[in-house]
Amino acid sequence: MIPDGLSSRNGLDRLALWFENFASHEVNSTSPLYGRLTHGVAQHEDLLELASHATREPIPNMLFGAVHYLLLKGAAHPLAAYYPSVSGADTRTDDPLPALRDFCRQYRAEIIHLLQTRRVQTNEVNRCAVLLPAFGLVARQEPGRKLALIEIGASAGLNLLWDYYRYDYGAGRKVGPADAALALTNEPRGAQFPPIPAALPIVCDRLGLDLNPVDLRDEDAVLWLRALIWPEHAQRADRLQQALAIAQAYLPEVRSGDALDLLPDALNHSDEDCAVCVYHSFVINQFSEEARQRLTDLLAEGSQQRPIYRLSIEWMHSPRPQLELRTYRGGAEVDHAILAACDGHATWMEWLGPA
């Protein structure tokens, strides 16, 4: 939840700063449209006031997600002409801000409803390409064992199906079913090539946990996922559609609730002889400090029964998102490695860990 008082003068100033930071740190380089709109929002009180109705973070993603969702749903308005995702290649390039302000006046009630009922729960399937070398390391440490997957913050569950996808890391390094319906790419950077497994580790069990699982059969929920992808990111949108088609065929189980409540039971979900892998990506920034500690404690406690591997891609206290692998055994964390740095959408990774 976001702090109270954002609609006060002081609150709107803080919000303006938030939008400016969002522009310079997140969107300017990859979404020219959101870059321009974000600066505009930061300078207009009517738009900041509208954004202040969001009940969850991150507010810029919530506001732009709501507008994009309504446009994708067919809202007939001149603003659509600025969105490549709606109008194709033939987009307008003049100042989009007057159209955004008019759109927000016209669709105020619908936008506020979305700001108060939806969450930012992008499901970025390419993150599987960064997780894969870590799953490979676990499989190497547990020869002969299959992997039991538990994903915290699984959203629609697309990253629970990573063994259904094919991976291309360049330099001829490809792995995964040759006939996979989804091929993911990742560009390794830096001095060390990541240890891509020669074959995908075998999965014996998979289970997602999420406060609000995206129901793959609900067209509106799926459209909200699509709307969270920025308008110029056609490749990400295509990947999402392909991953959704696979997931809609397999419907991976994602249990609804707070992961901290569901985890103790989930840890006993799989057969004794599987290696338990708990993983999360871009999730624990939504946890309080106490909740993060509780998660660590639960994993340590759970490891009294059998080892637990924890894989994560998070962006909390590091300059870039990072892939980490922790091992819990006998009630305590016994190993921790920072394996790689990557970008938020996992288009590249720089391997830092063991070869």
Residues contributing to the site for ligand SAM (CB under 6 A): 119-124, 127, 152-153, 155, 159, 209-212, 258-259, 281-283, 286-287
In a 3-state reduction of DSSP, which class is residue 10?
A: helix
Q: Which is nearer to ligand SAM, 71 or 298 (CB)?
A: 298
Distances (CA, A) of 68 to 119, 170, 209: 14, 33, 27
Please report how close the Cβ of residue 266 comes to ligand SAM at its closest, in angstroms: 11
Q: Which is nearer to ligand SAM, 36 or 280 (CB)?
A: 280
Cα(121)–Cα(213) distance, integer angstroms: 9
**Residue 239's closest CA among 339, 128, 314, 330?**
128
CA 197 to chain centre: 24
Please report how close the Cβ of residue 144 comes to ligand SAM at its closest, in angstroms: 29
Please report how close the Cβ of residue 45 comes to ligand SAM at its closest, in angstroms: 29
Q: Which residue has the tokens 């189980």?
A: 253
Q: Which is nearer to ligand SAM, 152 or 278 (CB)?
A: 152
In a 3-state reduction of DSSP, which class is residue 355?
A: coil
Task: Specify whether the CB–CB gap between 152 and 135 falls below 8 A.
Answer: no
Q: Which is nearer to ligand SAM, 124 or 232 (CB)?
A: 124
Phi, psi of 98, deg, nearest 5: -60, -40
Please report how close the Cβ of residue 149 comes to ligand SAM at its closest, in angstroms: 12
Cα(74)–Cα(178) distance, integer angstroms: 37
Return the bridge partners of 186, or none: none
Please report how close the Cβ of residue 49 comes to ligand SAM at its closest, in angstroms: 26
Q: Which is nearer to ligand SAM, 146 or 255 (CB)?
A: 255
Residue of closest CB approach to ligand SAM: 153
Q: Which is nearer to ligand SAM, 111 or 283 (CB)?
A: 283
Please report how close the Cβ of residue 111 comes to ligand SAM at its closest, in angstroms: 20
Q: Where are the beta strands (DSSP E) in 46-200?
A: 147-152, 166-168, 174-175, 183-185, 187-189
